[in-house]
Amino acid sequence: MDAEEFKARREKLFPNQRIAARALGVTQGAICHWETGRRAIPGTVRLLLDSLEKDPEAVRAIINQCQTLMGKRKGK
């Protein structure tokens, strides 16, 4: 996937870079670098985009559950 394809897919799934970054667990700067081709797009991000396009609700539920569990661990 090149920078142009990544940006098109990101825009289809998320209204802006900030929300995409939060959903993907990266910084907004990373999104910007991938969209401009300054950095290679990690394979894990490609897989996550594929999964989000196939079943966005299932992936979002998993992400929310992980965030909840991580929050509980921090609160120990």
Domains, the chain, in order of start with CATH, read 3-74 (1.10.260)
Residue 25 backbone zone (phi > 0: left; psi -120 to 50: alpha; other: beta): left
What's the DSSP call for residue 16? S
Give per-residue pLDDT as tens, 11-62.
999 999 999 998 888 999 999 999 999 999 999 999 989 988 999 888 778 8
Burial (CB < 10 A; 0-12, 13-18, 19+), residue 49, is: buried
Name the pTM for this structure: 0.74
Contact present, 13 and 56 (Cβ < 8 Å) = yes
Both tokens of residue 26?
A: 């990266």
- Which amino acid, one-letter code, is at 41? I
